[in-house]
Structure 1
């Protein structure tokens, strides 16, 4: 079994070892938007002890590898199949979750904002995130994904150039969304509710953490598999 080194990128590691996404999130190591930097660079930027992080990561990978896992090799899947997965899994999740979660964010800001001032910033960040993701999903489904499916059937340099131009905007969107999520995590102390938090407060933070996880996986599949394989 190969071990991971500081020459690997977080994106490469998550493709092989999906559970590493949780490990990286705990350490605020980006595996989606900025996931193509070698770990040695990440360790320097974040002043992390690389040997300790790699030892933990490889230990987790060794344990995980002993279990029976069927890991989807997204690199070998046709683009159209990956697109359908993204739409039916991640876009569908956003469509169902963005509005009701927004109501919870608004509720805790209204009720607890006076005593917990960071909830005002959370309210603004979440609503910016919501608009970004809604517009982003529409653009993908109406413009970019149909181009990629057409390219799969009838490849041409002209079509590829159209896709590259459209993807440039989408990857910028991904970076912006990634920064919003990072800021939300910082101001909520890693989505840890205060000791005296009410049930709505706890539910809101739990659902925000779940949305972050889903969004990071969503962006990872687009940036590091779908778009990369067309480059």
Structure 2
């Protein structure tokens, strides 16, 4: 079989070249967003996973993708990527964050006495919610308009502002990644107790959905959009 990905290929590069591989990486809890600059071999060794099997799945997916034409993320223009991020990932956050706020509060109120970890879940989620809401507002009101304006014309002062803002956004992503890791740990991999009510189970399911979508969201920005814009800014400065 033709080999496209190997142990030295970075996790973010894998998903950039073939977005469908995100499903495989998620299955093994391999970070391709905040940790997208790490070789997959390092992650496989760290997690003690079956490297040959994972690489075979990734390369098989790539070979299969050649049978049908597709557009990869890095082939999209900046404006197309921004439109996709807003209409897909920001809209998803606008729907799920208020819903999860109610769920985590209700579950904590009802079951907190018996499950003290729910206090931590409630606190971690609401810290994440505030960070994400402020982050998306900053992107939509400042960062994305600056990127789109740069494609037309941007003063040097605005270029410096955009460079700094992108650094801030990447820092926000690191913070979100830390909160997600803590949420996964405190929820025991989003595993509700056997006796858990439907709301309890649904809360953990939706938290995991949030994590999955954020991985895709952060990957598009950290590994594709922002590096491309920073390279373009360097070329004109």
**TM-score after normalising by structure 1:** 0.90
Query: Where does residue 201 of structure 2 map in the other structure?
Result: 202
Query: Where does residue 211 of structure 1 map in the other structure?
Result: 210
Q: CA deviation at 1:6?
A: 1.1
In structure 2, runs of 5+ residues without a counterpart are 231-237
Do the aligned residues in 1 keep the contact of 2:19 with 2:72 (CA within 8 Å)? no
Do the aligned residues in 2 keep the contact of 1:17 with 1:61 (CA within 8 Å)? no
The change in CA–CA distance for 1:71 and 1:124 in structure 2 (over 3 A counts) is farther
Query: Where does residue 55 of structure 1 map in the other structure?
Result: 53
Query: Where does residue 85 of structure 1 map in the other structure?
Result: 84
Query: Where does residue 117 of structure 1 map in the other structure?
Result: 116
Q: CA deviation at 1:77?
A: 1.2
Equivalent of 2:64 in 63, 66, 91? 66
* Equivalent residues, number: 228
Distance 2:34 2:20 in 1: 18
Query: Where does residue 24 of structure 1 map in the other structure?
Result: 25
Q: CA deviation at 1:40?
A: 3.2
Do the aligned residues in 2 keep the contact of 1:3 with 1:58 (CA within 8 Å)? no
Query: Where does residue 149 of structure 1 map in the other structure?
Result: 148
Distance 1:94 1:70 in 2: 30
Q: CA deviation at 1:156?
A: 6.0
SS in 1 for 2:151: helix
Q: CA deviation at 1:163?
A: 1.5
Q: Deviations over 1:30-73 (max 9, x none)?
A: 110121111233345x2525xx2242232354157436665431
**TM-score after normalising by structure 2:** 0.88
Query: Where does residue 39 of structure 1 map in the other structure?
Result: 40
